[in-house]
Amino acid sequence: MRASPTILPLRLSGVAYDVGGRRLVEGIDLVLSGPGRVIVLGPNGAGKSLFLRLCHGLLSPTQGKVEWLGPGASLKARRHLLVAQRPVMLRRSVLGDIIHALNLAGLGWTARRTAARAALERFGMTALADRPARILSGGEQQRLALARAWALRPEVLFLDEPTANLDPSATRAVEAMIDAFHAEGTKVVMTTHDLGQARRLADEILFMDRGRLIERAPAGAFFEAPHAPAAAAFLRGDLPW
Amino acid sequence: MNEIVDAFAAAAALVLSADPAFLEIVGLSLRVTLTAVAVAVAIGLPAGALLAIARFPGRGALVVLFNALMGMPPVVAGLVIYLLLSRSGPLGTLGLLFTPTGMVMAQAVLVLPIVLSIARQVIESLWAEYEEHLRSLGSSALRAVPTLLWDGRYSLITGILAGFGRASAEVGAVMIVGGNIAGATRTMTTAITLETGKGNLPLALGLGMVLLSLTLAINIAAHLVALVGQRRSG
């Protein structure tokens, strides 16, 4: 589907991040590549959202480096996107919101309209096209954010708790969209609190605890027998603190 | 008492008669004020947006200064432009004193702080909400300005209407800079001042009615804009 050269692998070396003198992310060394879906698990405050923002470049690490090593990384176009837990909706129509994102990506007048309609069409959201984006329901907003991301054809998609606060049917719709990204070759890296969702979607698990990446394992092995005691406790649903 | 009632009747007749001299005053007032608002918008919206998202030393002082200037007395704005345009002033050679163009400048000085400050406020809160999203999509702060102005459109229109209301109602600036010359720089407000002094109540009252209707229309417009904005943006 994508002709342009890859931006992967993504390498984090010794990444740490401080806020107001407090170290919230510490010593992350990691190389991400390949097609598998990566799910970042961990309790609240483990630094999962910060991790995604550091990878995406919205935050600059206090220490260490975040580098995209692939041959496509030097190109100007942004090939990775982040969809936040509560995605920002512009004060425009659903279609206008997607068109705006495509405009920033440098598409021409006609191309961005065509691509925006195609994205809505792709996910059966054409009926929403002219609705003001901000009055959509939470589930519809999350789907719009994913359709907007899809229109931009990212190679890597970071998702921060995409189904937090959504009901089961909205969650199912969002997961179907995530599947579509995966099927079409986008590497998905997402955080979730929903262990069932992690089991459904994950190819690989990153487990974070108190700002550190303490376990990385294929999903099957992780859910079978996590190595780190904190990960085991997390899976059992212990409330250690 | 009867005199006043008669004056009201005469004023109403004057408003309805479409008297050319009367219409000329109304027309000049609207032309001057609308042009001044257009100038203030052209400068104030982008400048306010930049002030909202740029970070530089002295920014806070500028914010306070423009907030304070929103309350600038019209006569002071008039005086400043008068000094600039007077024969010995730096712009004296342009010959703009006692012309509609000079009045536009004076009113633009009055309206600019309002448009700029409201734009700054609206854009600042929008930027706080949008910044991560826009940066994530690869937008620079500068590129974000048109996005933010468009998304703040309903609040900004309300601010522009407030500026229009202030300019159309003020008398001090246009009086000093325009000089209230019949057929040249006489506006509704300066005419009311003069005609009331001369005892020509029907003309003063008639113009007053037009001014009041204008104010009412501005407020209706502002209300409708806010309503539409709320429905479309939640």
Q: How far apart are CA B39 and CA B105, in angstroms?
A: 9
Q: What is the CATH number of the domain that holds A222?
A: 3.40.50.300
Fill in the DSSP letter of residue B93: G
Helix axes B2-17, B20-53, angle to 10 degrees: 80
Q: How confident is the model at residue A5 (pLDDT cuts 50, 70, 90)?
A: confident
Q: What is the pLDDT of residues A20-57, one digit of tens each?
A: 999 999 999 999 998 899 999 999 889 999 999 999 99
Number of domains within chain A = 1
Q: What is the CATH number of the domain that holds B143?
A: 1.10.3720.10
Number of residue pairs across A and B with CB atoms under 8 Å? 46
φ/ψ bin of A70: left (φ > 0), alpha (ψ from -120 to 50), beta (otherwise) = beta
Which of A2-11, A195-204, B163-172 shows the lowest per-residue confidence on average (mean pLDDT)?
A: A2-11
> Which chain A positions have a beta carbon within 8 Å of B136's beta carbon?
56, 58, 81-82
Mean pLDDT on A70-80: 81
Q: How far apart are CA B217 and CA B212, in angstroms?
A: 9
Query: In this structure, are strands A204-209 and A80-83 parallel, antiparallel, or unpaired?
Result: unpaired
| Residues A122, A127, A133: CA angle, nearest 5 degrees | 95
Mean pLDDT on B124-137: 95
CA distance B95 to chain A (A): 46
Fill in the DSSP letter of residue A2: -
Q: How confident is the model at residue A1 (pLDDT cuts 50, 70, 90)?
A: very low
Q: How confident is the model at residue A73 (pLDDT cuts 50, 70, 90)?
A: confident
CB atoms within 10 A of CB B234: 12
Mutate: best of A81, A104, A144, partner B, most B CBs <10 A: A104
pLDDT over 70 for what percent of chain B? 99
What are A54's two structure tokens?
Answer: 């550091």
Q: Which residue has the higher pLDDT, B8 or A126?
A: A126
Q: Is the pLDDT of residue A239 over 80?
A: no
Query: Backbone phi, then psi, for B171, in 5-degree steps?
Result: -120, -30
Q: Is the pLDDT of residue B75 over 50?
A: yes
Q: What is the pLDDT of residues B91-125, one digit of tens each?
A: 999 999 999 999 999 999 999 999 999 999 999 99
3 state DSSP class of A109? helix
Mean pLDDT on B166-180: 94
What pLDDT does B41 receive? Answer: 97
Complex ipTM value? 0.90
Q: How far apart are CA B37 and CA B43, in angstroms?
A: 10
Order across the sheet with A63-68: list the strands.
Answer: A22-32, A10-19, A63-68
Whether residue A137 lies inside any domain: the answer is no
Cβ atoms of B145 and B41 closer than 8 Å: no
- Binary contact (A104, B133; C-beta < 8 A): no
Whether residue A178 lies inside any domain: the answer is yes
- Binary contact (B232, A105; C-beta < 8 A): no
Closest CA to B8 of B195, B201, B190: B201
Nearest CA in chain A to B132: A58
Q: How far apart are CA A171 and CA B168, in angstroms?
A: 55
Q: What are the helix (H) ranges across chain A?
A: 48-56, 94-104, 109-122, 138-151, 168-183, 195-201, 219-224, 229-236
3-state secondary structure B97-119: CCCHHHHHHHHHHHHHHHHHHHH
Distances (CA, A) of A210 to A20, A45, A228, B138: 16, 7, 13, 30
Cβ atoms of A146 and A83 closer than 8 Å: yes
Mean pLDDT on A9-17: 95
What are B33's two structure tokens?
Answer: 């004020």
Cβ atoms of A184 and A22 closer than 8 Å: no
| Residues A130, A120, A185: CA angle, nearest 5 degrees | 155
- Binary contact (A104, B234; C-beta < 8 A): no
Number of domains within chain B = 1
Long-range contacts of A60-64 (CB under 8 A, 24+ apart): A61/A15, A61/A16, A61/A17, A61/A25, A62/A16, A62/A17, A62/A18, A62/A23, A63/A14, A63/A15, A63/A16, A64/A12, A64/A13, A64/A14, A64/A15, A64/A16, A64/A27, A64/A28
> Across chain A, what does the average pLDDT equal?
93
Cβ atoms of B105 and B91 closer than 8 Å: no
Of A78, A84, A132, Cβ closest to residue B233: A132
pLDDT over 90 for what percent of chain A? 87
Whether residue A111 lies inside any domain: the answer is no
Order across the sheet with A212-218: list the strands.
Answer: A80-83, A156-160, A187-191, A38-41, A204-209, A212-218
Domain that holds residue B36: 2-233
Of A82, A100, A134, Cβ closest to residue B136: A82
> Which chain A positions have a beta carbon within 8 Å of B151's beta carbon?
90-92
What are B31's two structure tokens?
Answer: 């032309």
DSSP string of A38-96, one letter each residue: EEEE--TTSSHHHHHHHHHTSS--SEEEEEE-SGGGGSSS--EEEE-SS----SSBHHH
Closest CA to A195 of A180, A207, A209: A207
Domain that holds residue A179: 10-86+156-236
Closest CA to B84 of B179, B177, B178, B185: B177
Helix or strand (DSSP H, E) at B174: helix B172-178
CA distance B144 to chain A (A): 9
Q: How far apart are CA A34 and CA A77, in angstroms?
A: 20
> Which chain A positions have a beta carbon within 8 Å of B152's beta carbon?
91
Of A84, A101, A152, Cβ closest to residue B132: A84
Whether residue A50 lies inside any domain: the answer is yes
